[in-house]
Amino acid sequence: MRYHIWTVGCQMNVADSQKLAAGLDRLGWAEVPAPEDADLVVLNTCAIRDHAEQRAIGKLGTLKKLRKRGGEFTIAVMGCMVGLKTDDLQRRFPYVDVFARPQQFEPILQAVGYDDLGGEFWPATFTTPDSPTAYVPIVHGCDKFCTYCIVPYRRGRERSRTIDDVRAEVEHLAARGVREVTLLGQTVEAYGHDLDDHPDLGDLLGALHDIDGIARFRFLTSYPKDMTERIIDAVAGLPKVCEYFNIPVQSGDDAVLDRMRRGYHIELYREKVDLIRRKMPGAAITTDVIVGFCGETDAEFQQTYDLLAEIEFDKVHVAAYSPRPGTIAYRTLADDVPQEVKMARLHAVEQLEAGISARINARLLGRDVEVLVEGQKPSPDGGMTWFGRTRQNKLVHFAGEAQLGSLTTVRIERATAWSLAGVAVVAGARVDVASPLPF
Ligand code: SAM
Ligand code: SF4
């Protein structure tokens, strides 16, 4: 039996798809690149913005046509498009065989004939890595209920995995060639508050740090209010943990933050950034911003723009507000910023950030940086170029000697806002990669 999984959305979705794939592999299924060759087609969807939903709807249209032409496959829709009630989805897409909420794999397996796999099946099924880098979810769901956001309605309340469970998964990945692990949570510093003894993210990082073979740890996504000095100290004190933080600010204006119910004001946000930069002067900090949120005035947007210019983030993910049915903002606030104003603000942020990122990256010209080698791809001159990331999560393309999964020193020769390029100066395998990696 053959399966095909199509994935959009965040890193958590990528991790969920990998877990489903690992489960199907264990049952003897094989993955195929084209849906028409599969017996089971899974669309792992995202609902964070309308655009993401439209992509899945477009894909469903293609599958419907394939079916009409005689394709015989089970269609499963999983992920954040699927809420508690599926009547509406069933009405709109009657040809879909099964709808499954994020991480609810059982209905999909039941649809293809597996009735009882036992309670231990999913927790014990760790992903099969295909790269030296891997994602490991540590806390599922979100309790924050920001007014614009659909995630808590679709991924449920926060649930942390135990330290032992996470450690077992990281050991499994390390034994299969993974060198860098990114720990995932919607608000990753919420980790542990629902567990006995209330370990925090710092405790977890400390408990994973000695795992042989893993050279680097990262974590995503940070919530400014939950990020404590204790966690920042743990990052600063643990050599394998990278100095890289993604801390969404969403807006630079306190009144907008209140309407978003983010639970903090800009003063607190600034304090956290200052603390990180004091303790780790080389740290990279990235952020997420929503422009054109309900009632956002020119002056309120200007506050965001000024904050971005002041903090100088390494990268900004900017999105125009997209009303999501079922959220608090959808029910109680008017989506009253015209589309062209949203787009003008989005472009203003992009333009500002392109200049800032280019300046930050240009500081690395002529410097030697540590790159974890993730693979090779064709270069414009017809040859192959290596690529990987720095500890600060900057993408680097480089020429010269290297080995997949190794930590290689690269001298930076070119820098743009989006990436760096250079040449390997010490092709070092400081991590033991004596045996070839299995991918
Ligand atoms: N938990 C993280 C946080 O605290 O911001 C981010 C999770 S969310 C999956 C990723 C990003 O999507 C958010 O940072 C936000 O900028 C964006 N986003 C969420 N809801 C949105 C909406 N309704 N319209 C536009 N962007 C949205
Ligand atoms: Fe959504 Fe807010 Fe939770 Fe992030 S913290 S997932 S933006 S509700």
Query: Which tens digit of pLDDT belongs to each residue from 242-288?
Result: 999 999 999 999 999 999 999 999 999 999 999 999 999 999 999 99
Residue 135 near residue 14, CB atoms below 8 Å = yes
Taking each helix axis from N to C end, the angle separating 163-175 and 201-208, rounded to the nearest 10 degrees, works out to: 40
Gap from CA of 24 to ligand 2 centroid (Å) = 30
Q: What is the mean pLDDT of residues 36-47?
A: 96
CB atoms within 10 A of CB 68: 9
Report which ligand 1 atom has the smallest distance to the Cα of 320: 25
Gap from CA of 146 to ligand 2 centroid (Å) = 6
Question: Which listed ligand is nearest to 49 at the C-alpha?
Answer: 1
The per-residue pLDDT for range 343-399, each reduced to its tens digit, is 999 999 999 999 999 999 999 999 999 999 999 999 888 889 999 999 999 999 999
The per-residue pLDDT for range 124-168, each reduced to its tens digit, is 678 889 899 999 999 999 999 999 999 999 999 999 999 999 999
Secondary structure (3-state) at 292: coil
Residue 395 near residue 339, CB atoms below 8 Å = no
State residue 417's pLDDT score.
Answer: 96
Residue 181 has pLDDT above 90, yes or no: yes
Q: What is the pTM of this model?
A: 0.94
Residue 62 has pLDDT above 60, yes or no: yes
Q: What is the mean pLDDT of residues 217-232?
A: 96
Alpha carbon separation from 211 to 128, 173, 181, 215, 238 (Å, rounded): 18, 10, 11, 9, 13
Gap from CA of 149 to ligand 1 centroid (Å) = 6
Report which ligand 2 atom has the smallest distance to the Cα of 186: 6
Site residues for ligand 2, CB cut-off 6 Å: 142, 144-146, 149, 151-152, 186-187, 223
pLDDT band at 439 (very low <50, low <70, confident <90, very high): confident
* Cα–Cα distance for residue pair 292/141, rounded to 1 Å: 26
Report which ligand 1 atom has the smallest distance to the Cα of 12: 9
pLDDT band at 187 (very low <50, low <70, confident <90, very high): very high
Task: Output 94 or 438, whichever has higher pLDDT.
Answer: 94
pLDDT band at 115 (very low <50, low <70, confident <90, very high): confident
Site residues for ligand 1, CB cut-off 6 Å: 10, 48-49, 148-149, 151, 186-187, 221, 223, 248, 250, 288, 290, 319, 321-322, 324
Report which ligand 1 atom has the smallest distance to the Cα of 150: 20
Which helix (H) or strand (E) segment holds residue 360: the answer is helix 339-362
Question: Which listed ligand is nearest to 145 at the C-alpha?
Answer: 2
Mutate which of 186, 268, 290, 332 for ligand 1? The one with the most ligand atoms within 8 Å of its CB, which is: 290
Residue 304 near residue 289, CB atoms below 8 Å = yes
* Cα–Cα distance for residue pair 374/415, rounded to 1 Å: 19
Report which ligand 1 atom has the smallest distance to the Cα of 248: 5
* DSSP conformation class of 250: B
Q: What angle do CA 245, 250, 251 make, to 5 degrees?
A: 125
Mutate which of 11, 12, 144, 221 for ligand 2? The one with the most ligand atoms within 8 Å of its CB, which is: 144
* Cα–Cα distance for residue pair 172/127, rounded to 1 Å: 9
Amino acid (1-letter code) at residue 305: Y
Phi-psi region of 239 (alpha: psi -120 to 50; beta: other; left: phi over 0): alpha
